[in-house]
A and B are shown apart, each in its own frame.
Chain A
Amino acid sequence: DIQMTQSPSTLSASVGDRVTITCRASQSISSWLAWYQQKPGKAPKLLIYKASSLESGVPSRFSGSGSGTEFTLTISSLQPDDFATYYCQQYNSYLGTFGQGTKVEIK
């Protein structure tokens, strides 16, 4: 099975900061990667699909890049609404493994 490893697990940042979260796959998944945002008590929200495609309605400060085994989610200028937990998910094999999550906290 494909394992997904996110880093860091926790990230402390300030409003306006540029934030980057990394997700590594244990084997190549081409570009079959999605990023989600989740706030406490809420369902996840799709941000990015196919590694770099922005979901409709998601602010352009979110971007995704990468292919193969290494992927990044970048928030160009962190906003108050962005403090949340972020998950990557691979779907190269329909066994849709999630990363363990990255919590973005207020510094």
Chain B
Amino acid sequence: EVQLVESGGGLVQPGGSLRLSCAASGFTFSSYSMNWVRQAPGKGLEWVSYISSSSSTIYYADSVKGRFTISRDNAKNSLYLQMNSLRDEDTAVYYCARDLIVGGGSGSSSYWGQGTLVTVSS
């Protein structure tokens, strides 16, 4: 069974940092590209970042570019999101999501974690 489990969320002050993790199991993690998607309370979905299976290709939404860093460790079956210079508007549930197909490139996410809440507030 495919499982994605996010962790690392919590309360952080504006300007602070947080590192989210996503532990993957039930599939060959190194074969799939991954995404981070967030959802502010009561709002819609916002794509945050993409990383290819080998980490060779990485993209960010303009809203987080220069502040967030996506990475992965295929040996540990884990995906990460390092979030720096956090702002109030970064408050959201953060989901990790797996691409639909091996090798990536479908752009659609067929498996999602349960999400981890990040609250940026003083």
Contact = CB atoms under 8 A, between A and B. Distances in A.
Interface of A: 1, 32, 34, 36, 38, 43-46, 49-50, 55, 87, 89-92, 94-101
16 contacts: A36-B45, A43-B95, A43-B97, A43-B113, A44-B37, A49-B100, A49-B106, A55-B100, A89-B107, A94-B57, A95-B61, A96-B37, A96-B50, A96-B107, A98-B37, A98-B44
A43 B115 contact: yes
Interface in B62-85: 62
A55 B110 contact: yes
Contact of A101 (B44, B107, B109): B44
B65 to A, nearest CB: 10
Contacts of A92: 107
A87 B44 contact: yes
Interface in B35-54: 35, 37, 44-47, 50
B59 interface: yes
A92 B115 CA distance: 25
B45 A49 contact: no
Contacts of B29: none
B42 to A, nearest CB: 10
How large, as a class, is the contact surface on chain B? 20 to 34
A12 to B, nearest CB: 19
A53 to B, nearest CB: 9
B122 to A, nearest CB: 27
Given A94-B50, A96-B35, A101 B45 contact: yes
Contact of A94 (B37, B107, B113): B107
B108 A95 contact: no
B114 interface: yes
Contact of A43 (B46, B57, B108, B114): B114
Nearest to A47: B108
Given A94-B59, A98-B46, A98-B47, A89 B108 contact: yes
